[in-house]
Amino acid sequence: MRQPIFALIDCNNFFVSCERLFRPDLENKPVVVMSSGDGCVVARSNEAKALGIPMGAPVYKWRQFFKDNRVVQFSGNFELYGDISRRITDVLASVTPQIEVYSVDESFLGLSELKIDDYRAWGRAVRDKIWQWIGIPVSVGVAPTKTLAKLAANHAKVHPALNSVLSLSPLPPQPERQRERFILSHSTAKNRVRIFPSDSVKGLSFHAWLRATPVQEVWGVGWRLAPRLQAEGVHDALQLSQLRPQHAQQLMGIHGRQLVAELNGLSCYPLEREGKAQKSIARTRTFGEDTGDIGSLEAALASFAAKAAFRLRVDHQLARRAGVFATTNKHKPGYQVWRRETYFPVPTADTGKLIASVVDLFHKFYNPHVKYHRAGVWLQDFVPVDHLQTDVFGSVNVAAEGRSKARMQTLDSINERFGRGKIRYAAEALGNKWEPKHRLRSPRYVTRWNELPVVHTLK
DNA sequence: TCTGGGGTCCTAGGACCC
DNA sequence: TCTGGGGTCCTAGGACCC
C-alpha cells in the first residue's frame, strides 16, 4: 500500500473572510463575528487578534473596547457561511475526489493517488485557485498524517514567509531524532522561541516545527489535557511525540497513543470520505430573553423539532428516540437543567409527530414560575428510511406511514420552491420571545432573493 | 441588559444475566 | 443462598473538535 499523505485546507478567519467578500472596505480593519444572539466572539480578523480579543470573548464585556478601537461587529450570518463553504468544497472536489469535509472551514484531501512532485507548488496552486474562484484566503498543510497536516497548516497561517503553505515530509532519519532528544533533555522547556522573524522559517527541519508547536496547539490536546501534559514536562509537540506510547495512553486514554504515533508520521486517522451518517441531530438555542411564557416555549421547541426533522429527512433517516431539555441561566445562581426523552416503536421523521412528542415531554417538567434561558431538542437512534421495519407487534400502519411521508415531501418541496419556512406548523408561531437577536447581521447575499446585493453604476 | 451551537468518542459504573 | 468471573447494555460525565 502506498504511504498515505494528507493535505489540510484551512480557511483563514473564515467567517470574517466571508463578510469581507461583500465588504472589501473592511480589508485591513479589525472585524469580529459573533455567535447566535450576539453572545460571544466566534471569529476574528488578524487585526482583531492583534488587538488581543480572545476567541469566545463575551461581547457584553468588550463592547466599550470595540467602540474605542473601531472594531466592526457582525452577528453570525451562518446561511452565508454555509453557502460559501459549499462553493469551496466544490473547488476542492474538482482537485481530487479524495476529500473529507471536516468542518465548515476545513477539508482534508488524500494525496497519495495524485502524482505530485512538489507539494509546496501544489499547495500554492490550490490556494490560488480558491482565492481566484471564491475569494477566500486559505492555508495549506501537507504531511503523512492528519495531525501533522493540521500542525503544518497552523504554521502556514501565521508565518508570512511560508506563503500560506507548509509541507512536513518526509520524516528525518532516525539518528537525528536521537540527537534532538538529547539536546531537548538539556534545554529549558519554557521561554522557547516560537515566532521566527524572517525567511529563515523555510529552512526549518521537521523537528524544529514540532518544537515550535506548544503542546496545547496540537490537534486533540485541549484545555484539560494541556496542563496535565505540562506537569509531566511535555511542553511542545516534539516532546509529546517522544512520550512512550504506554505513558501517553495513561495520560490521555487510547487517543493519546494514536496521537503520539501520528506525530511520528504513522497514520492512525484515515480519510473519512463517505458522508457517514450522523448519529444524532440537535437544535438548541439560548433565547433572546429569558422566558416562562408557555406559548413562546412551545414555539421554540416546535421550531427546533421542525428543523431537526427536516435535517433528518435530508439525510434519509428516521429517528427512534427524541428528547428535549431546558435550562436556566448557568451564569446565575440556582442553575438547573431538565431533560426528558421518549422512544418511538415506529421510527419517524414526521415533523408533526415530533413536535407533538417534544411539547408533550416539555409539559412533564414545565413550571410557569421558571424563567428559561436555553432549550433544545435532539434526535437519536437512526435507521435509514428504506429499512423501516415493523415494531415487534407488526402494528405499523402502512397507510398512515405513507400519508406521513407524502405530507413531509409536500412540505419540503413547497419550502424548497418558495423559501424556507414558507409553510410551517402553527405550533411554531405561538410566540417569539425566544428568538435570538441578530441586530448586526449582514444580508444573506447569496441565499435570499430579497437580500441580493445591489450594484449601482455611475452614468 | 449580560458568556454559542453542533457534533463525536471514550470511560466508568451500575444493572442484569449466565 | 453464596461465590466469582465475564459479558452486555445503558447512562452519565468527561474530553475533544470546529
Closest protein residue to C17 using CA and C1' atoms? A220
Q: Is the CB of residue A36 inside 7 Å of nucleic acid strand B? A: yes
**A254 CA from C7 C1′ (Å):** 22
At A383 the pLDDT is 87
At A449 the pLDDT is 83
Q: Is the CB of residue A439 inside 7 Å of nucleic acid strand B? A: no
Q: Is the CB of residue A376 inside 7 Å of nucleic acid strand B? A: yes
A164 residue type, one letter: S
At A183 the pLDDT is 34
**A343 CA from C9 C1′ (Å):** 16
Strand partners, A72: A31
What are the tens digits of pLDDT across the range A22-56?
999 999 999 999 999 999 999 999 999 999 999 99
At A192 the pLDDT is 37
Distance between start and end Cα atoms, chain A: 64
**A275 CA from C18 C1′ (Å):** 17
Neighbouring residues of A155: CB distance < 8 A, sequence distance ≥ 6? A141, A162, A166, A201, A209, A212, A213
List, for chain A, all residue ranges whose pLDDT scores fall below the cut of 70.
1, 170-200, 202, 275, 388-395
Q: Is the CB of residue A282 inside 7 Å of nucleic acid strand B? A: yes
Strand C footprint nucleotides (protein C-beta < 7 Å): 14-18
What are the tens digits of pLDDT across the range A184-237?
333 333 333 333 434 567 678 899 999 999 999 999 999 889 999 999 999 999
pTM above 0.85, yes or no: yes
**A253 CA from B11 C1′ (Å):** 9
Strand order in the sheet with A31-34: A41-44, A31-34, A72-75
| Nearest nucleotide to A106, CA against C1' atoms | C18
Q: Is the CB of residue A37 inside 7 Å of nucleic acid strand B? A: yes
**A397 CA from C16 C1′ (Å):** 43
Strand B footprint nucleotides (protein C-beta < 7 Å): 1-11
Q: How far apart are CA A115 and CA A105, in angstroms?
A: 26
| Nearest nucleotide to A436, CA against C1' atoms | B4
At A390 the pLDDT is 53
**A218 CA from B8 C1′ (Å):** 18
**What residue ranges define each of the domains in chain A, with the CATH number in brackets?**
1-169 (3.30.70.270), 280-429 (3.30.1490.100)
Q: Record the cell numbers describing residue A429, joined without a space.
A: 408561531
| Nearest nucleotide to A280, CA against C1' atoms | B7
| Nearest nucleotide to A254, CA against C1' atoms | B10
At A189 the pLDDT is 35
